[in-house]
Amino acid sequence: MSKIMQTTGVDLPAKEIKGQRMVSYKQIAELHQVPVKNLQYNFNYNQKHFIEGTDYFKITEQNPHTKNFMVSKLYFTESGYLMLVKSLTDDLSWAVQRELVNGYFRGAMLEKVLTFLPRKVQKVIYYRSLGLTQKEAGLLAGMSKDSVKRVERRLKGLGYKAPNLSGKRSHFKEKQLEVAL
């Protein structure tokens, strides 16, 4: 289960246009638990600040309900999304914004370079995404905790955000992890 799903209860399938991750009004409204009309108002009121092709894309497609009419839909890039939700300041919105930027928009960049990374680094990313601590991920990847920290510092420049788990947890024992190797 993704952090976005854990935070909001909403699944966010990846949609890309011209190699960039996008979100729609409907997705943003569901994630932030606000009416779509509020977001549309924010966009219309501040449209002069948005740049088409940079902050949003306007896609014209056939209306699924009436085949004769075309409808235009807006899809927002990371910058457009952040500009659109700028006025949403409740606690949920702050959490959703962080998860969307780190886990959805920047996650696409990491996915593209992941295959070029050394196998041990791929393992660290995988184990940390499962919620394991640095020490646990290091044991499974055949590295020390300090090596895992160094890997995560280097990956930070690519947009990778490791979970904030550095301590021990009682339900994972070192012997259990060694058996998994």
Over residues 53-60, the mean pLDDT reads 90
Does 140 share its domain with 88?
no
Instruction: Return the pLDDT at 178.
Output: 43
- Burial code (b: 16+ CB inside 10 Å, e: under 16) for 19-28 equals ebbbbbbebb
Number of domains in the chain: 2
Distance, CA of 43 to CA of 59 (rounded, Å): 16
Over residues 135-151, the mean pLDDT reads 90
Distance, CA of 136 to CA of 167 (rounded, Å): 10
Stronger pLDDT, 2 or 158, i.e. the higher one: 158
> Where does a domain end: 110, 144, 164?
110
Distance, CA of 3 to CA of 103 (rounded, Å): 7
Residue 60 tokens read as 């014209």
Comparing 1-5, 132-136, 149-153, the range with the smallest average pLDDT is 1-5
Residue 75 has pLDDT above 80, yes or no: yes
Q: What is the extent of the structural domain holding 158?
A: 117-181
The DSSP string of 78-112 is HHHHHHHGGG--SHHHHHHHHHIIIIIIHHHHHHH
Beta bridge partners, 73, equal 59
Over residues 112-136, the mean pLDDT reads 81
Cα 42 from chain centroid (whole Å): 23
Does 1 share its domain with 88?
yes
Task: Give the pLDDT confidence of 164-174 residue by residue, as tens digits.
Answer: 644 444 344 44
Does 102 share its domain with 17?
yes
Q: Is residue 104 within 8 Å of 22, Cβ to Cβ?
A: no
Q: Is residue 152 within 8 Å of 128, Cβ to Cβ?
A: yes
50 pLDDT band, cuts 50/70/90, is very high
> Where does a domain end: 92, 110, 128?
110
Does 22 share its domain with 94?
yes
Residue 108 has pLDDT above 90, yes or no: no
Instruction: Return the pLDDT at 72.
Output: 81
Instruction: Return the pLDDT at 41.
Output: 93
Residue 34 has pLDDT above 70, yes or no: yes
